[in-house]
């Protein structure tokens, strides 16, 4: 029995050490990677102007992904992000923010403009052709899935399941980190401050 416990503890320690090494390696790779995050894209903003990946590379940027028919996560995130941006960048010249639709079939530029504009002037909505949005989302490793509201009518009305985190990109579009949905506001604000300062 004693030998079994020793073996079990040895295996447990080995697993923990291995996971620690993997985690450290991933974090190191993430923080030292000088390549822009994601892929090139050509979409439109809420004012029907063309927008490309260059917009994510001009200055520190916050990006989140959602849809206008979202019942809770998206409007909450939009409202909170607007409040945080007002606190960390009151003049609006140090950080950019974007809301990318995961439901371009419904989210036209006009609908996005109304939806986003009712909450904030600090965040720009992005949409486009479904195939272009799909390519962009996959290139940014964003999870998104159409969920039928009625399982018996798969082609009927639907909602969207999607990644709920805010992605933080440093100058040049390099990945900095994320703000999780429901994260402590003080922590979220500090992350945005760090993004702006480059720390």
pLDDT digits (tens, 9 = 90+) for 84-104: 999 999 999 999 999 999 999
Q: Is residue 37 part of a domain?
A: no
Is the pLDDT higher at 12 or at 68? Answer: 68
Q: Is residue 81 part of a domain?
A: yes
Radius of gyration of the chain (CA): 20
Residue 184 has pLDDT above 90, yes or no: yes
- 180 and 106, same structural domain? yes
- According to the model, what pLDDT value does residue 199 have? 81
- 168 and 94, same structural domain? yes
Residue 162 has pLDDT above 70, yes or no: yes
Listed in sequence order, the residues at least 6 apart from 157 whose beta carbon sits closer than 8 Å to its beta carbon are 148, 149, 150
Q: How many domains does the chain have?
A: 2
- 159 and 127, same structural domain? yes
- 85 and 22, same structural domain? no
User: What whole-number distance in Å separates Cα of residue 196 and Cα of residue 59?
Assistant: 9
**Which H or E run contains 160?**
strand 158-162
- 56 and 26, same structural domain? no
Domain span at residue 122 reads 42-197
Average pLDDT, the chain: 86
User: What whole-number distance in Å separates Cα of residue 104 and Cα of residue 71?
Assistant: 17
Q: What is the CATH number of the domain that holds 179?
A: 3.40.30.10
Q: Is residue 178 part of a domain?
A: yes
- 133 and 97, same structural domain? yes
pLDDT tens digits for 139-152? 999 999 999 988 88
Q: Is residue 1 part of a domain?
A: yes
- 15 and 109, same structural domain? no
- 1 and 75, same structural domain? no
- 84 and 20, same structural domain? no
Q: Is residue 188 part of a domain?
A: yes
Residue 35 has pLDDT above 50, yes or no: yes
**Neighbouring C-alpha atoms within 13 Å toward the C-beta of 127:** 21
- 137 and 57, same structural domain? yes
- 104 and 134, same structural domain? yes
- 127 and 106, same structural domain? yes
Q: Which of 177, 173, 172, 182 is nearest to 192 (CA)?
A: 177
């Amino acid at each position: 029995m004693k030998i079994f416990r020793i073996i079990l503890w040895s295996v447990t320690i080995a697993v923990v050490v291995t996971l620690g090494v993997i985690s450290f390696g991933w974090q190191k790779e993430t923080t030292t990677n000088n390549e822009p995050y994601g892929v090139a894209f050509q979409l439109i903003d809420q004012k029907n102007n063309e927008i490309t990946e260059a917009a994510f590379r001009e200055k520190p940027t916050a990006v989140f992904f959602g849809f206008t028919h979202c019942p809770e996560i998206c409007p909450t995130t939009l409202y909170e992000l607007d409040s945080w941006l007002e606190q960390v960048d009151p003049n609006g010249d140090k950080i950019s923010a974007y809301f990318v639709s995961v439901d371009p079939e419904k989210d036209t530029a006009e609908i996005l403009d109304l939806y986003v504009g009712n909450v904030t002037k600090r965040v720009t909505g992005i949409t486009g052709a479904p195939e272009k949005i799909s390519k962009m989302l996959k290139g940014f490793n964003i999870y998104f899935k159409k969920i039928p509201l009625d399982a018996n009518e798969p082609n009927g009305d639907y909602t969207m399941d999607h990644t709920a985190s805010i992605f933080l990109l440093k100058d040049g579009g390099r990945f900095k980190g994320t703000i999780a949905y429901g994260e402590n506001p003080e922590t979220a604000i500090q992350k945005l401050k760090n993004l702006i300062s480059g720390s």
